[in-house]
Amino acid sequence: MKIAYVASEVFPYAKTGGLGDVAGALPKELAQLGHEVKVFMPKYNTFNEADYGLHYQWEIGSVLIRVAGRIHSVHVQKAYLPGTKGEKKSGVEIYFIDCPYYFYRYRVYTDDDDEDERFILFSKSVIEVLKRLNWAPDIIHCNDWHTGLLPLFVKDNYGHEKLFSKTATVFTIHNIAYQGNFSKKTFEKAEINPKYFLHGGDGEYYGGVSFLKTGILVSDIVNTVSDTYAKELLTPELGSGMNPFLNLRKNNFYGILNGVDYNVWNPETDKLIPFNYSKENLSGKLKNKKYLLEHLKLKFDEGVPVIGIVSRMVEQKGFDILEPVINELMQLDAQWVILGSGNHKYEEMFTRISVTHPEKVVLYLGYNDELAHLIEAGADMFLMPSIYEPCGLNQIYSLKYGTVPVVRKTGGLADTVLDWNESLERGEETGTGYSFTEFSGEALLNSLNRAINDFHKKEVWKKIQLNGMSKDYSWKRSAEKYVELYRAAYQKAK
């Protein structure tokens, strides 16, 4: 099949969270399965194009796109996604939509007044570039709200285009909380047929426009990134107002768990960690722990567990339950290595404990890919107390690195981490981590205490580590499921 894969962030060019990881990996796996894939993303000025071999596409030339009544001249650069075995090129083409006016802002996402315009321009540009390439995709795979209007543009604005007469659209929700809801003005800026914005129309949401709702209702097939989250999204509690629309699409709405790019996240080959290791020989893990702690100026003690956190610091990630039990947490015989950035409230809480307990807490505020890898390799446990978690990748990376996840049982966390005690209750020793259901500090403390107790039982701990390290969440299986979705969408659109 021919697949145009469209995303606002793609690793290694731009990444603010898991979407970047997914968009950098799934297209390559689809290509491995024999499909022809072209990836599209905006060209931001957050990365150095010379590092990635981008080339201006003369044959495409300049593409004129009108947004909010203003005409922009858009150019296209092309590169190849890095190869799966570390080669420079994978053979999968990535097209960068280059419009400095909208995308040279030193950040991938902004709070600027024209955030809607940025992604209207991106979506329309992708369609125009496909036309210039004269390449008729069987599938346009859109991701998250940024691409939510694209299926509508294909269906309506470009409804007359022969090139797209058989093109189907698939829309993946990576996070329901980010909806791209804007005022009524956005209808005009995007030049969309007003019928979609009559009350109750596919694009209308509380009198304004919702990119996410549009994507949900107009795409041929919709999916999200784990089975449990797909079920949760149909409920008012976790559907964030989109549950009525998802319920309307129930027969065309699926959950497909994300995979992991084990070429990037694998302790046996990881180039960002000083000591590689495997489940056959875990000695490198301890060396990484020592390296991590010494470089962060914490005392190394093999017998004291290190709890790692690598996260966007936003409400979703559940750090609110730490505050009421922060003294108890600080009394645990453990060290903490925390990496992340986001809301002031959480940054402030973590800063406070790192200042008051410098002997056990180290905080790095910001984004640091190398440190993220080192924490996965050097920590003993990995904490994710999320309120909700569509899939979550860090707990899956943690499994591979023998870093035992302690998670709240929600969404993808529930689908990927099996609580050790729960497995024992079933008469098995198959657990891979610790999980709790109640969103409270007590429940979190209880799980951490269980984990710390077991950490001191060397044999038990190793069993849990090896259980996790033996799991295989490579992309192949998930990519095959996407191909099934594509086929279903293609049949529908025909």
Among residues 479, 488, 486, 492, the alpha carbon closest in space to that of 137 is found at 486
Contact 196, 214 (CB under 8 A): yes
Of the candidate spans 43-51, 73-81, 337-345, 402-410, the one that interacts with ligand ADP by CB under 6 A turns out to be 337-345
Q: Which stretch binds ligand ADP (CB under 6 A): 131-139, 143-151, 323-331, 387-395?
A: 387-395
Written as six digits, the tokens of 160 are 């007359």
Smallest separation (angstroms) from ligand ADP to the CB of 343: 13
Residue 311 binding partner per list ligand ADP, ligand GLC, none, with a CB distance cut-off of 5 to 8 Å that depends on partner kind:
ligand ADP
Residue 35 interface partner, choices ligand GLC, ligand ADP, none, CB cut-off 5-8 Å depending on type: none
| Least spacing, CB of residue 308 vs ligand GLC, in Å | 17
Q: Can residue 128 be called a binding residue for ligand ADP (CB under 6 A)?
A: no
Task: Report the residue number, 22 or 54, with the smaller CB distance to ligand ADP.
Answer: 22
- CA angle centred on 250, ends 245 and 252, rounded to 5°: 105
> Which listed option, ligand GLC, ligand ADP, none, makes contact with residue 63 (CB within 5 to 8 Å by class)?
none
- Residue 393 binds ligand ADP (CB under 6 A): yes
Contacts of range 131-134, beta carbons closer than 8 Å, 24 or more positions apart: 131/161, 131/163, 132/59, 132/60, 132/61, 132/63, 133/38, 133/60, 134/163
Nearer to ligand GLC, 25 or 445 (CB): 25
Ramachandran region of residue 402, left (φ > 0), alpha (ψ -120 to 50) or beta?
left
Considering only residues 252, 394, 410, 478, which one is a binding residue for ligand ADP as defined by CB under 6 A? 394
| Cβ atoms within 10 Å, residue 146 | 29
Residue appearing with tokens 């990365």 = 47
Residue 225 binds which one of ligand GLC, ligand ADP, none, with CB within 5 to 8 A depending on kind? Answer: ligand GLC
Residue 379 touches which of ligand GLC, ligand ADP, none (CB < 5 to 8 A by kind)? none
When asked if residue 329 is in the footprint of ligand ADP (CB under 6 A), the reply is no
Inter-CA distances, 151 with 45, 131, 202, 246, 490, Å: 27, 15, 11, 16, 14
Q: In the set 369, 463, 466, 488, which binds ligand ADP (CB under 6 A)?
A: 369
Among 312, 357, 450, 471, binds ligand ADP (CB under 6 A): 312
Q: Does 443 bind ligand ADP (CB under 6 A)?
A: no
Binding site for ligand GLC (CB under 6 A): 17-19, 22, 174-175, 225, 258, 389-393, 412
Query: Could you tell me the smallest distance in angstroms from the CB atom of residue 411 to ligand GLC?
Result: 7
The answer to whether 18 and 392 are in contact (CB under 8 A) is yes
Contacted entry of ligand GLC, ligand ADP, none for residue 151, CB cut-off 5 to 8 Å set by kind: none
Tokens 């999320």 -> residue: 386
Site for ligand ADP in 86-105 (CB under 6 A): none
- Is the distance from CB of 5 to CB of 38 less than 8 angstroms? yes
By rule CB under 6 A, what count of residues binds ligand ADP?
Answer: 17
Nearer to ligand GLC, 22 or 338 (CB): 22
Euclidean distance between CA atoms 270 and 265, whole angstroms: 6
Q: Is 392 in the site for ligand ADP (CB under 6 A)?
A: yes
CA 339 to chain centre: 17
The least distance separating ligand ADP from the CB of residue 451, rounded to whole angstroms, comes to 19
Cβ atoms of residues 9 and 66 within 8 Å: no
223 binds, among ligand GLC, ligand ADP, none (CB under 5 to 8 A by kind): none
Closest contact distance (angstroms) between CB of 389 and ligand ADP is 7
CB distance 43 to 97 below 8 Å: yes
CB of 310 to ligand ADP, least distance (A): 5
Say how many CA atoms lie within 13 Å of 433 toward its Cβ. 34
Site for ligand ADP contains 415 (CB under 6 A): no
Choose the stretch contacting ligand ADP; rule: CB under 6 A; options: 16-24, 109-117, 165-173, 241-249. 16-24
Instruction: Report whether 13 contacts 48 (CB < 8 A).
Output: no
Q: Convert 415-473 into a string of H (helix), E (strand) and C (coil).
A: HHCCEHHHHHHCCCCCCCEEEECCCCHHHHHHHHHHHHHHHCCHHHHHHHHHHHHCCCC
The single residue among 76, 372, 479, 489 that binds ligand ADP, judged by CB under 6 A, is: 372
Least distance in angstroms from the C-beta of 273 to ligand ADP: 13
CA of 434: how far to CAs of 65, 194, 361, 429, 484, in Å?
Answer: 51, 51, 22, 13, 33
Q: Which residues would be at the binding site for ligand ADP (CB under 6 A)?
A: 17-18, 21, 310-312, 339-341, 367-369, 372, 391-394
